Amino acid sequence: MMPKKLLIICGPTATGKTSLGLYLAKRFKGEIISADSRQIYKGMDVGTGKDLETIFRSKIPVYLLDVVRPDEKFNAANFHQLAWKAIGNICQKGKLPILVGGTGFYIKTLVDGMGSLGIEPDWKLRKKLDNLGAEELIEKLGAVDSQRLAKMNQSDQKNPRRLIRAIEIGLAKKDLPLSSPLLADVLMIGLTAPKKILYKRIDERVKTRVRLGIKKEIEKLLREGYTWENSVLGETLGYQQWQLFFKGKISEKEAIARWQFAEHAYARRQLTWFKKDKRIKWFDFAKPGFDLKVEKRVKDWYTKVDAAKS
State pLDDT tens for residues 143-165. 988 888 988 888 889 899 889 98
The pLDDT assigned to 200 comes to 98
Q: Are 12 and 102 in contact (CB under 8 A)?
A: yes
Task: Return mean pLDDT, the chain.
Answer: 91
The pLDDT assigned to 70 comes to 98
Cross-strand partners of 41: 68
Burial class for 175, CB neighbours closer than 10 Å (0-12, 13-18, 19+): exposed
Spatial CA neighbour of 81 closest among 39, 40, 121, 109: 109
Full-model pTM: 0.81
Quote the CATH superfamily of domain 5-115+178-309: P-loop containing nucleotide triphosphate hydrolases (3.40.50.300)
The pLDDT assigned to 116 comes to 58
Q: Are 71 and 222 in contact (CB under 8 A)?
A: no
What whole-number distance in Å separates Cα of residue 280 and Cα of residue 204?
27
Cross-strand partners of 189: 9, 281
Residue type, 41: Y
The pLDDT assigned to 99 comes to 98
Residue type, 251: S
Backbone angles phi, psi at 139, to 5 degrees: -65, -45
Q: Residue 173 half-sphere exposure, CB side, CA atoms within 13 Å?
A: 18
State pLDDT tens for residues 226-262. 999 999 999 999 999 999 999 999 999 999 999 999 9
Backbone angles phi, psi at 23, to 5 degrees: -60, -45
The pLDDT assigned to 174 comes to 64
Mean pLDDT value of segment 128-139: 92
Q: Are 218 and 47 in contact (CB under 8 A)?
A: yes
Spatial CA neighbour of 265 closest among 12, 34, 10, 39: 12
Extract long-range pairs of 50-55: CB within 8 Å, 24+ residues apart. Answer: 51/18, 51/19, 54/18, 54/19, 54/22, 55/18, 55/22
